Amino acid sequence: MEVSVWSRPRWFTQDQNYRALGVICCLPEKGKLELCVAGRSTLLINPYDSKSREHWLVEWSVLERAYPNWMTNGRRLLSIQDLSAAFGQTNAHTLQDAEFIARFEADAGKIGLYLRKGDYLNIPGPGTGELGDPNLSLVLTSEIKESVLKIIRGSDN
């Protein structure tokens, strides 16, 4: 996917992982998804409660290319609605999130969980747009969106 620096939001880290996706491992029957992006970033999505699957544990780690000794990682618990919005399935949001979304000129977001404009996603929120931000910046390809949709649909069974 070719990405123009001019079209990305200011808060999206420009050089973190635009390049080739590595491995996408999607196991919809188990409701699991693993992305390895350009060999430097990892994103794991797993059901938090294997029975209801209404909440999803999202974990990430980023090894900074410019600073080899820096590693950022984190985890957040997202509802199925937030997971859908974060990965571009919907732009639904609450009134309390509307100001946050408007401030960063985004399409969807929830404070402390994610911010997305078009196909640009930051987890857990906006950054400075520079290397070293403590978040994961990810361009959502059709393959990533389809994989997330598969695990969400798998959770309806």
Give the separation between CA 157 and CA 153, rounded to whole angstroms.
7
Among the listed ranges 8-12, 13-17, 78-82, 88-92, which one has the minimum average pLDDT value?
13-17
- Asked if residue 16 belongs to a domain, the reply is no
- Select the more confidently predicted residue: 135 or 37: 135
- Asked if residue 100 belongs to a domain, the reply is yes
Given a cut of 90, whether residue 77 has pLDDT beyond it is: yes
Name the residue range of residue 150's domain: 21-154
Give residue 24's pLDDT.
67
- Asked if residue 38 belongs to a domain, the reply is yes
Count of structural domains within the chain? 1
pTM greater than 0.75: yes
Calculate the alpha carbon distances from 70 to 90, 110, 132, 155 in Å: 34, 26, 8, 35
Given a cut of 70, whether residue 63 has pLDDT beyond it is: yes
- Asked if residue 12 belongs to a domain, the reply is no
3-state secondary structure of 16: coil
3-state secondary structure of 15: coil
